[in-house]
Chains A and B, each alone.
Chain A
Amino acid sequence: MAHAARKADLSSTLADANIRLDGGVESIVRNAWIVGGVGIVAALAWAFLSGSGAERIGRVWIVTYSFVLSIALGGLFFTIVQHLTRAGWSVVVRRIAEAYAANLRWMWLLFAVPVLLLLVTGKFGYVFPWADLAHMREVHPDEATLVEKKTAYLNVPFFLLRSTAYLAIWAALGWFFWRRSTEQDADGGIAATERMQRWAPAGIILFGLSTTFAAFDWIMSLNPAWFSTIFGVYFFAASCTSAFAAMIVALVLLERRGKLVGVVTAEHFQDLGKLLFAFGIVFWAYIAFSQYMLIWYSNQPETTGWYIARQMGGWKWLSIALLFGHFVIPFLLLVSKHPKRYTTTLLFVAAWMLVFSWLDLYWLVMPQIPEGLATATSYRALAEENAGVSTRLADPLNWLALLGFVGLFVGSTLRTLAGHALIPVRDPRLAESLAFENM
């Protein structure tokens, strides 16, 4: 009796109407792509009209690109870890992460096109100062002597080679896990699961190395004299923040539209909330503080400049905002299990974390080390001299670029999902995931 009832219940839970996007998604995809295209064009138009230099345009591009990249990479990380640990609970939420990661198959374009444009127009050195040592020697001679010793690593051909490798690894991994998982929807064979599990260990090692070095090359090298060995882990933590928050937002919005009802339950939301809490909030703070404390304690001039830049003028307030907005407040909001199980609070915190993850990347990429750092007589004098430095957060270039890239990302994610079920319908661990309960 009970068995039959459960079976009937399951067949309605797994009905197409519940686990597939409606036809109406096509118009959302089209609108997202239009927003994306218009956003990018408008951002470029605004940049030229307002006379933003190549350096600012380039850095805003890196902020925006690393934001959408962090969602895709975090999705890839989540997917690989589920296969690595042969997790059962996560099957019903894995498809969303796979779809985010599948974007990596085209997202290399968002890196390659701007880099090519910068190279063709000869402005590559404006964004990555190490590429134009002659100029650097004129404006920052002290820094230049440090950077000259790094030319074996920091040179344009090797940079392009490494970047190609990262993008190729990510595209291959993202596509591999998406393809195997969706193939299993059709054939229902266990072979796909076994293949994904076999490749997961190699995948996670490649992921770890490529993400770490990409963070070094694309973000840390913007201040080429500065170095922090933990920087790659910092970007990984940011990826976790963005991706777990984006997964929660997507799943709650799907639930609000009557999808995955009875499939993704409070139990799964609680676990995603735990991941966002642990990786995206606490681990991020742990890494950010670890980086800060070593530099603060050792007090070496070649490394403290990076933080001094973030304590001047408007950047000071953004630093404080990150401490509270990226750690203290969401920590208190999400520490209990109840807000993790109640989708309204979880959605609020996840949306909040997406905003702060973007602000975090903006904070990593945009500040300029003050000109007078080497000659300043005291910290106070430097702070007064730079009191007027603005974060330029209100600059429409930031928001138009963000609109553009996020539009493309959302449109592409929905387009990818539209042809398939929202869960891996024939995964061998699906039943385990549907029945999953926290204690």
Chain B
Amino acid sequence: MSTLVTDPRPLSEGRPQERGRLYGLMAEFATPGELLRAADTVRKEGFRWWDCHSPFPVHGLDKAMGISPTILPVAVFGAAATGALVGFLLQAFTNSWSFTIWAIVWVTGYPYLISGKPLLSMPAFIPVMFELTILLAATSTVFLMLLFNGLPRLHHPLLKSDRFRRVTDDRFFLVIEARDPKFSRARTESLLRSLHPVAVEAVED
């Protein structure tokens, strides 16, 4: 990390505040349209470690940033299919199967004979299969979403910035992280300034 900022003074001299290393450069925009244009430019410059922040979803931002579609739906479909299968096996195993292991251990579930219906009765299994499908699909949606987004995290460097507070109100931000291979303090700053932001701020971790 070439951009690591170090304080030459030793700790014992009582410097007021530990200075962190540079997290990235943050540009603040007044409108979503400016953010879209800025995102378009930054993408074309070839940056990889950067993100946009806005008070509401901005249509077309994914495209401007060049974000590839999420694989979340595929994963959720897999979880849902697993739920249906588990639901079926659970009931088939407990209600209908009995077997022995080397004729020593007898494995019997909970065969429940009711109104002459066979032990392996699909109609009776479907509600449980349905519920498990929904349960696994819903929980995997939430938790995989958190996982893919790197959440939960207890701290984010941007939250230190007072300027960034307006992201929940009326300002739009684009942040290029210092770890990006193309990042250079001076050149990246001049790039961001050329995009007509309200302000550019260096954010430290």
A residues with CB within 8 A of B: 289, 292-293, 296-297, 299, 335-337, 437, 439
Is A299 a contact partner of B77 (Cβ separation < 8 A)? no
Residue of A nearest to B74 (CB): A336
Distance of A134 Cα from B177 Cα, bound (Å): 87
B178 to chain A, nearest CB (A): 30
Is A293 a contact partner of B115 (Cβ separation < 8 A)? no
Residue of A nearest to B126 (CB): A289
A293: chain B residues within 8 A (beta carbon): 123-124, 126-127
Is A296 a contact partner of B59 (Cβ separation < 8 A)? no
Is A439 a contact partner of B123 (Cβ separation < 8 A)? no
Q: A299-B115, A437-B59, A439-B57 are in contact. Are A335 and B126 (CB under 8 A)?
A: no
B66 at the interface (CB under 8 A from A): no
Q: Mark B162-202, 1 if CB is under 8 A from A, else 0.
A: 00000000000000000000000000000000000000000
B157 at the interface (CB under 8 A from A): no
Is B57 a contact partner of A296 (Cβ separation < 8 A)? no
A126 to chain B, nearest CB (A): 34
A295 to chain B, nearest CB (A): 10
Is B124 a contact partner of A337 (Cβ separation < 8 A)? no
B73 at the interface (CB under 8 A from A): yes
Task: Choose from A297, A336, A439 the contact partner of B124 (Cβ within 8 Å).
Answer: A297
A277 to chain B, nearest CB (A): 13
Task: Choose from A296, A297, A336, A437 the contact partner of B73 (Cβ within 8 Å).
Answer: A336
B124: chain A residues within 8 A (beta carbon): 293, 297
B123: chain A residues within 8 A (beta carbon): 289, 292-293, 296-297
**A-facing residues in B55-70 (Cβ within 8 Å):** 57, 59-60
Distance of A191 Cα from B126 Cα, bound (Å): 49
Residue of A nearest to B57 (CB): A439
Distance of A148 Cα from B73 Cα, bound (Å): 54
Chain A interface mostly = loop
Distance of A238 Cα from B124 Cα, bound (Å): 24
B residues with CB within 8 A of A: 57, 59-60, 73, 77, 115-117, 123-124, 126-127
A301 to chain B, nearest CB (A): 12
Q: A293-B126, A297-B123 are in contact. Are A335 and B77 (CB under 8 A)?
A: yes
Residue of A nearest to B121 (CB): A296
B68 to chain A, nearest CB (A): 14
A-B pairs with beta carbons under 8 Å apart, 18 shown: A289-B123, A289-B126, A292-B123, A293-B123, A293-B124, A293-B126, A296-B123, A297-B115, A297-B123, A297-B124, A299-B116, A299-B117, A335-B77, A336-B73, A337-B73, A437-B59, A437-B60, A439-B59
Q: Which 8 A-B pairs have the closest CB atoms?
A: A437-B59, A296-B123, A293-B123, A299-B115, A439-B57, A289-B126, A336-B73, A292-B123
A265 to chain B, nearest CB (A): 12
Distance of A299 Cα from B115 Cα, bound (Å): 8
A424 to chain B, nearest CB (A): 23
Distance of A437 Cα from B60 Cα, bound (Å): 9
B29 to chain A, nearest CB (A): 16
Distance of A437 Cα from B57 Cα, bound (Å): 11
Besides A289-B123, A292-B123, A293-B123, 12 other CB < 8 A contacts?
Answer: A293-B126, A297-B115, A297-B123, A297-B124, A299-B116, A299-B117, A335-B77, A336-B73, A437-B59, A437-B60, A439-B57, A439-B59
A292: chain B residues within 8 A (beta carbon): 123
Residue of B nearest to A435 (CB): B59
B115: chain A residues within 8 A (beta carbon): 297, 299
A336: chain B residues within 8 A (beta carbon): 73
Distance of A355 Cα from B110 Cα, bound (Å): 43
Distance of A296 Cα from B59 Cα, bound (Å): 49
A297: chain B residues within 8 A (beta carbon): 115, 123-124
Distance of A335 Cα from B59 Cα, bound (Å): 23
B23 to chain A, nearest CB (A): 28
Distance of A317 Cα from B124 Cα, bound (Å): 22
Distance of A299 Cα from B127 Cα, bound (Å): 18
Distance of A154 Cα from B41 Cα, bound (Å): 73
Distance of A289 Cα from B122 Cα, bound (Å): 12
Residue of B nearest to A2 (CB): B33
B63 to chain A, nearest CB (A): 11
| Residue of B77, B115, B123 contacting most chain A CB atoms (<10 Å) | B123
Residue of A nearest to B80 (CB): A335
Distance of A337 Cα from B77 Cα, bound (Å): 12
Distance of A439 Cα from B126 Cα, bound (Å): 33
A331 to chain B, nearest CB (A): 11
A89 to chain B, nearest CB (A): 13
B73: chain A residues within 8 A (beta carbon): 336-337
Residue of B nearest to A289 (CB): B126
B127: chain A residues within 8 A (beta carbon): 293
B30 to chain A, nearest CB (A): 16
A348 to chain B, nearest CB (A): 21
Distance of A14 Cα from B117 Cα, bound (Å): 62
B71 to chain A, nearest CB (A): 12
Distance of A292 Cα from B123 Cα, bound (Å): 8
Distance of A431 Cα from B4 Cα, bound (Å): 50
Distance of A102 Cα from B60 Cα, bound (Å): 38
A326 to chain B, nearest CB (A): 16
Residue of B nearest to A292 (CB): B123
B116 to chain A, nearest CB (A): 8
